[in-house]
Structures are given as structure tokens and as C-alpha cells.
Amino acid sequence: MVTKADVLNWLKHYADVIDGQKEYLTQLDAAIGDADHGINMHRGFGAVMTQLPAVEDKDIGTILKKVGMVLVSTVGGAGGPLYGTLFMRMGMAVGNKEALTAEDVLKMFTAALEGVKQRGKAEPGDKTMVDALTPAVEALRQAVEAGEDLHAALAKATAAAEEGMTATIPLVARKGRASYLGERSAGHQDPGATSTYLLFKSAADVWNGADA
């Protein structure tokens, strides 16, 4: 089971990861975007860390929805609406639970993917965060439905997200700021897919004992 404390630790760990990777994410975005993805995500999760204590005693759904609302209001560019939608849909999917099963985690990430696709109107192959999110959720689904424990399932999801992230390098962007570059967007890794990979890796790293 993933407890509420596990969820809070995941959010805090991801905020630390974003802090450490903000320059790298911004460098990726400088090649094909507005050079602000890392800066914006860092600002957003800094605000999340400031406001998280006010909802730490609430249920998991409320916590995740709060994260989403804070990101929408503080993250600039496309990242705010997309990551805000991702976390708000997660919160809606798990509702007022105090702990999550592997099936709940799958439902949470599945809802996140659906929300991001609806908000961004992106599909796999468009060179966006969907290129990492889609294979990660599919790998998670296959592992959970096969009865694997959550740690193993998240490890597979993270590996799939990493493959999806790397696969954005040769793609020509069809959505977002990078699409304005046309063919020149090829040869660069998508920053949104990268931050999505880091989200799954953070969950896998922090929840590795959640089944104990």
C-alpha cells in the first residue's frame, strides 16, 4: 500500500529532483521552446512545498488536487495547465482515500494521462510529455494486471517512460512551442517528456518499500 505519508514524500522528493534538474530541463527547453521549463517547474513545486503543510492532514485526493491548483496558478507556459491537470485528475481518481493499492495507483496515473491528452490535445509521436506518459501508464497497467507488486510495476513504468523520453529526440514536434520550429525540432529531447520521466522515477525511488 502507498500511504498518505508515501504520497507526501513522493511530492517532496520530486520537488527536490526538479530543483536539482532545473538547469538541465531549461537547457532542453532552450533548444526547442522558451527556455523556461525547468525554471517554471521549479517555481511551481517551490510553491507546492510552501502550501503543502496546509493540506498534509487531508486525504490523498485533496492533497493531489491542491498540488494541481497550485501548479496551474504558479507555473508559466504550457507546463502549468498540463501538470496542473495531471495532478488534479490524479486527485479526482483516488478521491478521499488514505492509502492506495497498486490498482489505485494505476487508476491515478491513467486518469492523469487522459487529462493531459485532453488538455494538450497531444497524442504519442507529437514530441510532448505524452510520449513518456503513455508508455509508462501502459507498462504500469500490464504489470499491475499481471499481479506484480507495485515496486516492480513502477520500475517497469519508469523504464518505459525513459524509453519514451529518449524516443522524442528524433521526432518533429507537432504540438506546443516546439512545433513552430518544424524540422529543426528534430534531434532534441523533449523537456516535458523528461520531467514526466523524472516524476515516475521519483515514485519508483520513494515507493520502493510501499509493499512491505
31-81 pLDDT, tens digit per residue, is 998 899 999 999 999 999 999 999 999 999 999 999 999 999 999 777 889
- Cell numbers given for 106: 494505476
Angle 170-171-173 from CA coordinates, rounded to 5°: 140
- Buried (b) or exposed (e) across 8-28, using 16+ Cβ within 10 A? bbbbbbbbebbeebbeebbeb
With 50 as the cut, is the pLDDT of residue 175 above it?
A: yes
Is residue 24 included in any domain, yes or no?
yes
Cα–Cα distance for residue pair 94/97, rounded to 1 Å: 6
SS3 label, residue 101 = coil
With 80 as the cut, is the pLDDT of residue 211 above it?
A: no
β-pairing, 99-100 vs 2-3, is antiparallel
Percent of the chain topping pLDDT 90: 88
- Cell numbers given for 183: 524540422
Is residue 52 included in any domain, yes or no?
yes
Is residue 163 included in any domain, yes or no?
yes
Question: What's phi and psi for 147, nearest 5 deg?
Answer: 85, 15
Q: List the domain range (segments joined by +) for residue 148.
A: 2-206
Is residue 153 included in any domain, yes or no?
yes
Partners of 2 in beta bridges: 100
Is residue 186 included in any domain, yes or no?
yes
Question: What's phi and psi for 98, nearest 5 deg?
Answer: -105, -10
Is residue 100 included in any domain, yes or no?
yes
pLDDT band for position 210 (cuts 50, 70, 90):
low
Q: Cα 19 vs. chain centroid, distance in angstroms?
A: 15
Is residue 212 included in any domain, yes or no?
no
Instruction: Give mean pLDDT, residues 7-23.
Output: 97
Instruction: Find out whether 128 and 175 touch, Cβ atoms under 8 Å.
Output: yes
Q: What is the pLDDT of residue 8?
A: 97
Cα–Cα distance for residue pair 159/180, rounded to 1 Å: 30
The one-letter amino acid code at 82 reads L
Name the average pLDDT for the chain. Answer: 94
Q: What is the pLDDT of residue 201?
A: 98
Q: What is the pLDDT of residue 212?
A: 39
Question: Model pTM?
Answer: 0.96
Is residue 95 included in any domain, yes or no?
yes
With 50 as the cut, is the pLDDT of residue 206 above it?
A: yes
- Cell numbers given for 121: 490535445
Indicate the number of domains in the chain. 1
Q: How does pLDDT run across 146-167, given as a tens digit for each residue?
A: 999 999 999 999 999 999 999 9
CA dihedral sign of residues 151, 154, 158, 159: positive
CATH number of the domain residue 181 falls in = 1.25.40.340
Instruction: Give mean pLDDT, residues 115-134.
Output: 96
Partners of 155 in beta bridges: none
